[in-house]
Amino acid sequence: MTEYVIKQNQFKTKYLGNHLYHFHSITSTQTFLKKLVAQNIATPGYVVLADHQRMGRGTQGREWFALPKPQLTFSVLIQPSIPIKNFPILNILCSSLLVQIFRSFNIEAQIKWPNDVLIGGKKISGILSELVMIQSKPCLIVGVGVNIEANLDDFPPELQNKATALSMHRQDIDRMEILELFLQELEILIDEWSTDQLLLYTQACFNETWRSKYQKIEIKKEEKIIQGTIHGINSMGALEIQTENGLETIHSRSMIVDSTY
């Protein structure tokens, strides 16, 4: 039995998503795409999409909760032309893209640093970016999970006041449309925009959607609790907090540097 179908050129993009593996059920789109990279099969633009993940991976070794109905879970391989030290901003950039897509459907959404998208203050989407090398060139596997179809009681009790799904806000949006819009926008941003433009755009989206709303923050850094106001994000995607003792920089651990597959 074939586990997946390969679809070619189904989106209006130049190359992102032109080679798409669509699974009904998979352990993790991220792990599968990593294997394709390790086997020298995947090239930039490859996308692995699944309706269900049985072992979806979240940031910091956490699990991405598997909801019963079909969701939007995919991983895309990109080769950004910006310096590798700036790659972490792409995480926030991808969250910004999702925010803009939801807003284009008149749904108010926000970024939550470093990689979450919120609707009504609850998480609808998370992003996991992992660095891989292809012929000595740094590439990223960007894994995106969007909760599409769910009722509150589909989530475990501990997530019920923290998570949401698109169907709780709108019923008429096709998940493939979200995927296509995401790939179209991402392709333009990574291929046509300079590092400075990407940085300014990401910082502006961040300021507009999160800093302006959540000015005061308390965050745990190593064993220390940092309190202050959000200053912004720097060129490496790190969060800057203005405290009584000066500027504190909080680095995201959501970009896992892993070349061991």
Residue 209 or 248: the one with the smaller Cβ distance to ligand BTN is 209
Report in angstroms how near the CB of residue 175 gets to ligand BTN at its nearest. 12
Cis geometry, peptide bond prior to residue 157 (ω within 30 degrees of 0) = no
Report in angstroms how near the CB of residue 72 gets to ligand BTN at its nearest. 8
Report in angstroms how near the CB of residue 80 gets to ligand BTN at its nearest. 18
One-letter amino acid for residue 171 of the chain: Q
Residue 31 or 228: the one with the smaller Cβ distance to ligand BTN is 31
Residue 57 or 228: the one with the smaller Cβ distance to ligand BTN is 57
HEC per residue, the chain? CCCEEEEECCCCCCCCCCEEEEEEEECCHHHHHHHHHHCCCCCCCCEEEEEEECCCECHHHCECCCCCCCCEEEEEEECCCCCHHHCHHHHHHHHHHHHHHHHHCCCCEEEECCCEEEECCEEEEEEEEEEEEECCEEEEEEEEEECCCCCHHHCCHHHCCCECCHHHCCCCCCHHHHHHHHHHHHHHHHHHCCHHHHHHHHHHHHHHHHHCCCCEEEEEECCEEEEEEEEEECCCCCEEEEECCEEEEECCCCEEECCCC
Report the residue number whose CB is nearest to ligand BTN: 126
Report in angstroms how near the CB of residue 157 gets to ligand BTN at its nearest. 19
The separation between CA 154 and the C-alpha centre of its own chain, rounded to angstroms, equals 22
Report in angstroms how near the CB of residue 196 gets to ligand BTN at its nearest. 27
Residue 75 or 86: the one with the smaller Cβ distance to ligand BTN is 75
The helix or strand, by DSSP H or E, that contains position 144, with its residue range, turns out to be: strand 137-146
Separation between Cα atoms, residue 140 and residue 40, nearest integer Å: 15
Residue 128 or 199: the one with the smaller Cβ distance to ligand BTN is 128
Residue 88 or 126: the one with the smaller Cβ distance to ligand BTN is 126
Residue 154 or 193: the one with the smaller Cβ distance to ligand BTN is 154
Residues that bind ligand BTN (CB under 6 A): 28-30, 53, 56-59, 62, 64, 73-75, 115-116, 126-128, 143-145
Report in angstroms how near the CB of residue 245 gets to ligand BTN at its nearest. 31
Report in angstroms how near the CB of residue 9 gets to ligand BTN at its nearest. 22
